[in-house]
Each structure stands twice: as structure tokens, then as C-alpha cells.
Amino acid sequence: MNNDFSSALKKSGLRKTKHRTAVLGVLDGSARPVAAEDVYLSLKEDGVSINLSTVYRVLDTLASSGLVTRLSIAGEPRSLFEINTMEHRHYLVCVGCNKIECIEGCPLKAYEKTLEKQTRYAIAGHRLDIYGYCPECRDKGRGAK
């Protein structure tokens, strides 16, 4: 439970550097997936000097070694990243204010089995994002921007 991610990095065979620790810290401290630039700005705000391209490289490295998950959602042209919780997750995206929440549970297990039989594919996974208006946006008119 130490907060510097030493063991996680070691387990992945990655050197522990100030930047990797810092990036992991930002992801860990965020309730929602964030873009590379968000990480960069967040670090800058904390007084951590880092180059944006390093942020990209760190995120890429961490994603490759499975410590971090990269995801993309419709309407957001950038890649988003979050700590890989190893939990299977889905996202609820508010079309009004662009807020992203995580959803617990997955409704697709049985469906994947069915699909394997139907299509003869070896199903490896899926991506599911749900779109809608959050309680606040649904109340204020039609979720106007």
C-alpha cells in the first residue's frame, strides 16, 4: 500500500523514475480517465517539471506493461488513461457536460458466449460506453451546453 508504486513498477520490469511515479500519482488521484495533456497540466500545477512528450512516453510505457489502461470514447478525439484496476469496467458519459463516470458490473457475459457460437469468433473482449444526460443536465432543459 505504499504510494510510490515501486512494487508495481518493479513487477513490470520498469525502472522507478520521478516521472513515472508522478504520472501514476495523477492517474491514481483521478476518479475519471484523463488525457495526456491533463496529466501534464496537473503535474505542472504540482510544480513537477516534465515534458509533454515524456508524458506520452510514460503513459505509453505504462499502458504497454498493463499498469495503465488506454481508452477512447466517442466525441473525444484524444486517448484517455486510467490506472488499470484489473476490473472490467464501463463508462457512462454525459452528453450535456461531458462528465465521465464508471459503471459497476457488466451486462454482456452471457451475450459474448452466444456470439461466439453464432460467429465462430474467439471473443477477446468488448468496449461499451453508455451515453446520456446526467441528473443535473437532464434537469436544466435539454442538457444545453
Partner DNA sequence: TTAATTGCAAACACTTTGCACGCTA
Partner DNA sequence: TAGCGTGCAAAGTGTTTGCAATTAA
Vertex 133: Cα angle to 28 and 33 (nearest 5): 15
Pairing of strands 34-35, 90-94: unpaired
61 in Cβ contact with 100 (< 8 Å) = no
**Residue 51 lies near DNA (rule: CB under 7 A):** yes
Helix (H) or strand (E) segment spanning residue 121:
none
Residue 74 interaction partner, one of DNA, its own copies, none, beta carbon < 5-8 Å per kind? its own copies
Residues 74-113, interacting with DNA (CB under 7 A): 77-79
Distances (CA, A) of 103 to 61, 80, 113: 26, 16, 22
Cβ nearer to DNA, comparing 54 with 84: 54
Write down the least CB distance from residue 127 to DNA, Å: 16
> Should residue 63 be labelled a site residue for DNA when binding is judged by CB under 7 A?
no
Q: Considering beta carbons, is residue 57 or 143 the nearer one to its own copies?
A: 143
* Residue among 6 and 114 whose Cβ is closer to DNA: 6
Pseudo-torsion of CA 12, 73, 49, 83, nearest 10°? -30
Is 71 a residue that touches DNA (CB under 7 A)? no
Picked from its own copies, DNA, none, the partner binding residue 18 (CB below 5 to 8 A depending on kind) is: DNA
